[in-house]
Amino acid sequence: MTRTPSRWRFARNNWRVALVRFLVGGVLVVLVLALLPSIDADVQAPIASILTLALVYALLDSFVRPLLNILLMPFVVESYGLALVAVDVLLFALLIRVSRPFLERLGDPLVVDSLWAVLIGGVLLGLLKLGAEAVLGLTPPIAHDLPSRSTKGRT
């Protein structure tokens, strides 16, 4: 018996999932920057700045996060996953560092007052992203559904 694949099955290369992750990442970055008073983002061209931050965060999340997860795997195992918070903080710090020249060209300087703002922002971004991916169903399943047995001929 052949099983027809479901249209709604999660796929990592699904463009709709990538688009939703991009939009969620952009919204969450802007939300974290708005919530933290010690990060000063003078936004004069809000759409361009938001798209720049979302694009930089999506690229970092797609390429740098897996690399950091692999490099920090022994620490993740030793700390029962607590080292993943360090990955979120590093991504947020890289986001601020990498997006600064692009935002300055747009006339929107991004000024961070202290290291505590980066730490709190990274933790907050990681928690919000975890919650948003869980609510929106963007997390891939751990195990695929097993095919159901045929009940033909059974009473």
CA distances from 7 to 14, 18, 30, 50 (A): 11, 16, 32, 32
Categorize the per-residue pLDDT at 42 as very low, low, confident or very high, splitting at 50, 70 and 90. low
In a domain, 69, yes or no: yes
pLDDT > 70: percent of the chain: 78
Give the pLDDT score at 154. Answer: 57
Is residue 33, in this structure, part of any structural domain at all? no
Supply the Cα-derived Rg of the chain in whole angstroms. 20
Whole domain around residue 79: which residue ranges? 45-136
Q: In this structure, is residue 96 part of a structural domain?
A: yes
Residue 6 belongs to some domain of the structure? no
How far, in Å, CA of 81 to CA of 58, rounded?
22
Nearest to 113 by CA among 42, 32, 39, 41: 39
Per the domain annotation, does 27 fall within a domain?
no
Q: Is 77 within a domain?
A: yes
Mean pLDDT, range 135-153, rounded to an integer: 67
Residues 6+ apart with CB under 8 A from 7: none
Counting the structural domains of the chain, the total is 1
For 46-81, what is each residue's pLDDT tens digit? 788 888 888 899 899 889 999 999 999 999 899 888
pTM of the model: 0.76
Query: 88: which 2 tokens?
Result: 């979120």
